[in-house]
Amino acid sequence: MSGFLDALLLQAGYNAALVMIGSGLLGFAAGTSGTFMFLRKRALVSDAVAHATLPGIGIAFIVMVLLGGDGRNLVGLLIGSAATAWIGLLLIEWIARRTRLAEDAAIGAVLGVFFGIGIVLLTVIQTMSAGRQAGLESFLLGSTAGMLYSDAVVIAIGGSIAVLATWFMRRPMTLVSFDPEYAAALGYNVRRIDLTMMGLVMMVTVIGLKLVGLILIVAMLIIPAVTARFWTERSNRILWIAGCIGGVAAYVGAAISASAPAVPTGPIIVLVTAVMFVLSLIFAPVRGVSAAIIRHRRFQARVHRRQGLLSLARQEPIREPYTLRLLAREGLIRPDGVPTEAGRAQAAKVARDERRWAVAREVHQDAGLTGRYDGLTPIEDVFTRDEIKDFDRRLGTPFPVEGLA
């Protein structure tokens, strides 16, 4: 545990600190750029982009070796992967626009085919330079073990550029995410903005390859955005919340990985993010599951209370145990089911409001106001005091409700 705290405070050694800072930046960049893909309902495009980097890695390696260089140069590999990821993106866009196939089919096709080509190239590389096992497989799942200072710098610079670009482009990208037609009417080039969005995702993917690998980078792009959505209804906030969730999860994940043996960085970052997602799913204030349950229980209680009071007013027996419990707890009935003084008063009010509503429906035959009658909204919330007085006049003078007086 102290090892984890040490790591968290960047005391676990130079390399670990490097990895953690790089991860945090990458997580923040992934969270923000993934948000727009999520809002555009294209979350899985990032999956295709990630898989489409593999052939680029293979090609870059082959080219660099053929040119007599070191095939493992990270910058070269990243440029290669960016190139094929970009081709994959354009293909998805082209298939979805030019053919009748839906976008999900285009995503799946590009994903499977590019990954297949990548695997073919990896086997070619294995045979091509048998002595120089390239270790390109590490790009599948990532590995921070051999991370160099230069790698961390690449991640830090790339992540910062991605965050900055997101910041500058946030207005048009938000607009396109919510209403592409309106954006087009305002004169924005929707296609170019879409491509910019995907380009940002591609950049984050490429940068993250070394750290978490191409399969798990998808999680860093999707999960923070989905998690942030639980906490806000505002697009400018979701962006930064997603960024913070992604950044914190990546930082903490990297710290756990640095302090525990045999815990690979990529998966643990994803799992930390997933824990945050599950917590949000359950505990988020409005959209969370527990909030929904509480809302439902309150609604249920209101319905039961009202039906119980109406029954009291009509002197009908109440048999529903939940209603009885509810009314007894509020002191409206005695344990034997006989209404108390307060209960009679409340029942009379509910019955009177019910009659008022009946009059209101006769007076206002349009559905605008009376349409809000759901049995639960107090009449005082819908009509003014004068209007209610008017309803009362039409009802006639109050008379004792039989048996309750």
Interface contacts to another protein, rule CB under 8 A: 38, 41-44, 46-47, 94-95, 98-102, 104-105, 107-109, 111-120, 122-124, 127, 137, 140-141, 215-216, 218-219, 222-223, 225-226, 229-230, 262-264, 266-268, 270-271, 274, 277, 281, 287, 289
Minimal distance, residue 297 CB to another protein, in Å: 16
Who contacts 339 (Cβ-Cβ below 8 Å, separation ≥6)? Answer: 312, 332, 333, 347
* Nearer to another protein (CB atom), residue 107 or residue 332: 107
* Nearer to another protein (CB atom), residue 43 or residue 147: 43
**Residue indicated by tokens 């070394």:** 210
* Nearer to another protein (CB atom), residue 155 or residue 216: 216
Nearest to 208 by CA among 164, 245, 162, 242: 162
* Nearer to another protein (CB atom), residue 86 or residue 115: 115
**Residue indicated by tokens 């008022």:** 356
Name beta bridge partners: 339: 333
Minimal distance, residue 315 CB to another protein, in Å: 43
What is the spatial distance between Cα 244 and Cα 208, in angstroms, rounded to a whole number? 17
Minimal distance, residue 64 CB to another protein, in Å: 19
Minimal distance, residue 59 CB to another protein, in Å: 13
Minimal distance, residue 191 CB to another protein, in Å: 18
Q: How far is CA 76 from the centre of its chain?
A: 34
In a 3-state reduction of DSSP, which class is residue 333?
A: strand
Minimal distance, residue 266 CB to another protein, in Å: 7
> Which tokens hold the place of 69?
């260089």
Query: Where in 139-278 does DSSP place strands (E)?
Result: none
* Nearer to another protein (CB atom), residue 120 or residue 294: 120
Minimal distance, residue 146 CB to another protein, in Å: 16
* Nearer to another protein (CB atom), residue 225 or residue 350: 225
Contact 111, 47 (CB under 8 A): yes
Q: How far is CA 280 from CA 142, 231, 261, 296, in A?
A: 27, 8, 29, 19
**Residue indicated by tokens 């995702």:** 201
* Nearer to another protein (CB atom), residue 84 or residue 323: 84
In a 3-state reduction of DSSP, which class is residue 237?
A: helix
In a 3-state reduction of DSSP, which class is residue 336?
A: coil
What is the spatial distance between Cα 5 and Cα 111, in angstroms, rounded to a whole number? 39
Minimal distance, residue 36 CB to another protein, in Å: 12
Q: How far is CA 8 from the centre of its chain?
A: 26
* Nearer to another protein (CB atom), residue 124 or residue 376: 124
- How crowded is residue 379: how many other Cβ atoms within 10 Å of its Cβ? 17
